[in-house]
């Protein structure tokens, strides 16, 4: 392969075929990629990034900003409006053309700038918790964002890591990889560094290579990155992975609302256009009026309001140490009414300490500690806090101990075995769930280190010791061994039999003092907390009792395996404690809760928690979790505390409420304007508003609504789960739209018969009345209280009053003539104040009746 200065590979070619990754000898592969075990230097990385692009095959690429901006002009309504105004200019009305183009550009720019700023803020938050890889760069091991990896990078892997690209193994130790994404097989595949690729009928089968999208279950490895981005095996799946996930209730509701308004708008525009043509009004003027009306009635600001509101909520959550990776998860968070979580770190302090190691009768046992320490030291998988507690409890001399092989931990067996040699003797040391190890043991080691048969009576004594530990709130691991002969070179699951029981490692994880109050606060907020733990029932019950939370029902993993899906559905409402459950059972529980109609959140941080995190409506993980868990989560907690989740839920509900305010505003005012326009078109001999006045009305209204994402939310509005209710919105539109039209028709009457208005005065008067009532009604609609009992955000007050002030002032300014305005008589403003006050009062009355009726349905 040709090389360039600084040893760079040819950026114009991808010289590696997929099969080269596992078929090439490693020395030749390093040479072809001009890579060394010390890693690439900074210049080489930048050159390769420019040549190959970022390593993000499954990420949807965003278009350049200028293309995004021009894309806003592709709306059929905008195109037709601009063409029609161009024709108007061709007939001599250049002023109207300039005004239309200016207003449309300002409106689109306003929308674009707000949305891009919101998207950039969210992207910055996502990158703050992006998965990192340990890459060797210039002889140093650095944490590097996965999307910055390039061919030739040397990356170190441990258990729990996502494999960031297609790569060749340089070194490996007891490496097992989950390749389910590529192969569909749920069982881990063993990988070994070698020039010989065993089982390489397909890429994922190559034993000496690993591939993007898979993850490390256990062991460690050093890999050479060979193919990145869309050149990886995952790149073939990138299209399907980049597709949007199934739409949430929130997204579906927003779409349904938009389509509902669009249908009404199309009907109204056609009606107005037909009426104007039937009355032999100028064709071009009628078309411009109809198109301007369509633009005014279309909720074009809705996507921006949704994005800005959710992004603002995401930014607020970041200050509360919660990073949002998926914006729509904020709505799901607000709607969540069940939270499934582990016990550790939520109900307890997650400061696990080894208290003692004892034999089966409860006596201190140094031998049990020695076996536990050797097992934990030699375990190559992702060490648990229990392993850390064992290794830091006291010094232990590992001199003379040699590891031969290992059977990695998995959640089905719930144990880890290491084959070791010490003083010319080989033995298998097993550490794991104590009930299982007692079941697998046929002997035990007494105080004199002699093996004794584990008869029924002794077994009952040992089980009583374990139960006593659980009743006191202690967690325990069992420790057992088995002697093997010198020819035993490998360890397999089948070796975990006929064990000699050594004792228990006893741990304490103190209950969190604030946990009880937090769970009660979540219950008051309409969220049921269900604990899914791998611990036994006695330990879990002790923690519940200590924090003052009642156990309403218990289901163990063993009992769960004997339940049908229907039986599980029947038990779920009463059960709030699930003990000894494995990751597959967590997944089963979450799916069952969703079948019951709950919006379910799940907190997980383990290697095998990814399926449950994906299945939940809201997947929540913590910053120190395994890569696979953080990648699957929607929210990342920077602080492992249940109270943080409760605060995040309140913020999520507030965001949904603010989006609802805009939707309720748009539905009521737009539907009312449709009625008003239809009536005006039937009896007026002129247009009720000029096209440029409609566009200006729409612009001022949009400007006033920009502040809605910043608005305060009443505490009672976030006290319970908030779900998107499109039916309520539709009923709201049908009730409040006609109320708005009543005052429009009153204004029509006043202008025609009280003020003897001609076309210009009528258009000016209705413009002022329409924009005033349309904007000021936000203060009534934004709350279910009386509007004077709920304080809006100062920004909302300023934008609303400012927009109204501009509308009222325009007829008095020279600029007003450009828009066809004339100066209204002073008495008109007396009428305006009276009508607006009456309108707001009527809205308050109708609002009270509406929500009272809605509460009974």
Q: Which residues are catalytic?
A: 342
Convert 423-462 to b/e letters by CB count within 10 Å (16 or more is b). eeebbbbbbbbbbbbbebbebbbeeeeeeeebeeebbeeb
Convert 17-56 to b/e letters by CB count within 10 Å (16 or more is b). ebebbbbbeeeebbebbbbeeebbeeebbebbbebbbbbb
Q: Are 179 and 211 in contact (CB under 8 A)?
A: yes
* Beta strands 635-637; 618-622: pairing state: parallel
Q: Which of 155, 162, 151, 105 lies closest to 135 in space, CA to CA? A: 155
User: Using alpha carbons only, how large is the chain's radius of gyration in Å?
Assistant: 34
Which residue in the block uniquely carries the two structure tokens 């192969």?
183
* Beta strands 8-9; 3-4: pairing state: antiparallel
Q: Are 407 and 452 in contact (CB under 8 A)?
A: no
Q: Which of 598, 718, 719 lies closest to 656 in space, CA to CA? A: 718
What DSSP string describes 751-800?
Answer: IIIIS---HHHHHHHHHHHHHHHHHHTHHHHT-SS-GGGSPPPHHHHHHH
E strand spans, 296-382: 322-324, 338-341, 353-358
What whole-number distance in Å separates Cα of residue 655 and Cα of residue 644?
Answer: 17
* Beta strands 166-178; 215-227: pairing state: antiparallel
Cross-strand pairs, 600: 338
Measured CA distances, 647 to 276, 318, 340, 525, 652 (Å): 55, 11, 16, 11, 9
What whole-number distance in Å separates Cα of residue 173 and Cα of residue 161?
Answer: 15
What whole-number distance in Å separates Cα of residue 83 and Cα of residue 265?
Answer: 20
DSSP designation for 607: G
What whole-number distance in Å separates Cα of residue 51 and Cα of residue 357?
Answer: 57
What DSSP string describes 87-137?
Answer: HHHHTT-HHHHHHHHHHHHHHHHHHHHHHHHHHHHHHHHHHHT--EEEEEE
What whole-number distance in Å separates Cα of residue 666 and Cα of residue 487?
Answer: 79
Q: Are 609 and 481 in contact (CB under 8 A)?
A: no
Q: Are 417 and 378 in contact (CB under 8 A)?
A: no
Q: Residue 321: left (phi > 0), alpha (psi -120 to 50), or beta? A: left
What whole-number distance in Å separates Cα of residue 676 and Cα of residue 681?
Answer: 9
What whole-number distance in Å separates Cα of residue 174 and Cα of residue 311?
Answer: 43
Residues 6+ apart with CB under 8 A from 120: none
**Euclidean distance between the first and final Cα of the chain, in Å?**
73
What whole-number distance in Å separates Cα of residue 144 and Cα of residue 127?
Answer: 12
**Residue 381 burial (10 A CB sphere; 0-12, 13-18, 19+):** buried
User: What are phi and psi for residue 131, nearest 5 degrees?
Assistant: -65, 135
Helix (H, G, I), strand (E, B) or coil at 321: coil
What whole-number distance in Å separates Cα of residue 606 and Cα of residue 627?
Answer: 9
């Amino acid at each position: 392969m040709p090389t360039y200065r600084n040893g760079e590979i040819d950026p114009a070619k991808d010289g590696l075929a997929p099969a080269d990754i596992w078929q090439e000898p490693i020395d030749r592969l390093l040479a072809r990629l001009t890579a060394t075990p010390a890693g690439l230097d900074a210049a080489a990385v930048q050159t390769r990034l420019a040549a190959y692009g970022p390593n993000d095959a499954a990420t949807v690429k965003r278009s350049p900003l200028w293309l995004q901006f021009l894309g806003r002009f592709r709306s059929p309504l905008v195109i037709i409006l601009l063409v029609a105004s161009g024709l108007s200019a061709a007939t001599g009305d250049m002023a109207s053309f300039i005004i239309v183009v200016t207003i449309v550009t300002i409106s689109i720019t306003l929308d674009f700038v707000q949305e891009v700023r919101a998207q950039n803020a969210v992207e910055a938050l996502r990158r703050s918790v992006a998965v990192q890889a340990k890459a060797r760069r210039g002889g140093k091991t650095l944490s590097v964002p996965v999307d910055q990896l390039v061919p030739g990078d040397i990356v170190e892997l441990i258990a729990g890591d996502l494999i960031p690209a297609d790569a060749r193994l340089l070194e490996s130790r007891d490496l097992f990889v989950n390749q389910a994404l590529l192969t569909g097989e749920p069982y881990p595949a063993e990988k070994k560094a070698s020039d010989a690729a065993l089982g390489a009928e397909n890429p994922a089968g190559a034993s000496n290579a690993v591939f993007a999208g898979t993850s490390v279950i256990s062991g460690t490895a050093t890999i050479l990155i060979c193919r990145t981005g869309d050149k990886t095996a995952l790149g073939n799946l990138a299209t399907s992975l980049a597709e949007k996930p199934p739409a949430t209730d929130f997204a579906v509701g927003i779409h349904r609302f938009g389509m509902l308004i669009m249908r009404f708008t199309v009907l109204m525009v056609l009606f107005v256009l037909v009426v104007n043509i039937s009355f032999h009004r100028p064709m071009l003027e009628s078309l411009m009026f109809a198109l301007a009306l369509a633009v005014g009635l279309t909720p074009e600001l809705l996507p921006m309001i949704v994005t800005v509101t959710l992004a603002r909520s995401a930014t607020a959550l970041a200050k509360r140490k919660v990073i949002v990776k998926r914006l729509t998860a904020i709505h799901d968070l607000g709607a969540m009414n069940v939270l499934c979580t582990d016990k550790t770190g939520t109900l307890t302090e997650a400061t696990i300490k080894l208290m003692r190691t004892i034999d089966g009768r409860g006596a201190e046992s140094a031998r049990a500690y020695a076996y536990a320490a050797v097992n934990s030291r030699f375990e190559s998988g992702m060490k648990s806090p229990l392993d850390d507690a064992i290794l830091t409890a006291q010094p232990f001399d590992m001199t003379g101990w040699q590891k031969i092989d290992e059977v990695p931990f998995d959640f089905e067996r719930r144990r880890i075995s290491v084959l070791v040699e010490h003083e010319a003797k080989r033995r298998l040391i097993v550490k794991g769930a104590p009930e299982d190890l007692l079941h697998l043991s046929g002997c035990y080691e007494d105080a004199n280190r002699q093996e004794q048969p584990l008869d029924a009576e002794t077994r009952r004594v040992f089980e009583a010791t374990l139960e006593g530990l659980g009743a006191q709130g202690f967690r325990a691991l069992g420790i057992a061994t088995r002697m093997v002969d010198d020819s035993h070179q490998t360890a397999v699951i089948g070796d975990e039999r006929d064990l000699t029981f050594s004792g228990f490692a006893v741990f304490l994880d103190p209950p969190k003092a604030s946990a009880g109050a937090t769970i009660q606060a979540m219950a008051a907020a309409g969220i049921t907390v269900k604990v899914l733990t791998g611990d036994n029932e006695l330990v879990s019950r002790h923690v519940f009792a200590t924090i003052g939370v009642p156990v309403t029902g218990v289901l163990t993993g063993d009992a769960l395996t004997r339940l049908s899906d229907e039986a599980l559905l029947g038990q779920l409402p009463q059960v709030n404690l699930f003990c000894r459950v494995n990751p597959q059972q967590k997944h089963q529980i979450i799916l069952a809760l969703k079948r019951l109609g709950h919006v379910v959140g799940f907190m997980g941080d383990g290697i095998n928690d990814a399926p449950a995190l994906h299945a939940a409506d809201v997947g929540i993980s913590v910053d120190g979790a395994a890569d696979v868990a953080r990648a699957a989560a929607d929210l990342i907690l920077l602080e492992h505390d249940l109270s943080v989740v409760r605060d995040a839920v309140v913020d999520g509900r507030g965001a949904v409420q603010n989006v609802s305010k805009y939707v309720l505003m748009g539905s009521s005012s737009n539907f009312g304007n449709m009625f008003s326009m239809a009536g005006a078109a039937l009896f007026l001999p002129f247009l009720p508003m000029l096209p440029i006045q409609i566009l200006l009305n729409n612009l001022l209204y949009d400007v006033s609504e920009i502040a809605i994402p910043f608005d305060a939310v009443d505490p009672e509005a976030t006290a319970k789960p908030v779900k998107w209710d499109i039916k309520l919105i539709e009923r709201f539109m049908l009730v409040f739209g006609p109320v708005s039209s009543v005052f429009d028709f009153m204004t029509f009457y006043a202008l025609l018969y009280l003020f003897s208005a001609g076309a210009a005065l009528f258009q000016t008067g209705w413009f002022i009345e329409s924009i005033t009532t349309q904007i000021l009604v936000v203060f009534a609609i934004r709350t279910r209280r009386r509007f004077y009992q709920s304080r809006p955000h100062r920004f909302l007050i300023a934008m609303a009053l400012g927009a109204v002030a501009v509308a009222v002032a325009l007829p008095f300014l020279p600029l007003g003539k450009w828009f066809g305005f004339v100066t209204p008589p002073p008495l008109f403003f007396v009428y305006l104040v009276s009508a607006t006050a009456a309108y707001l009062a009527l809205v308050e009355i109708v609002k009270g009746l509406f929500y009272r009726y809605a509460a009974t349905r």
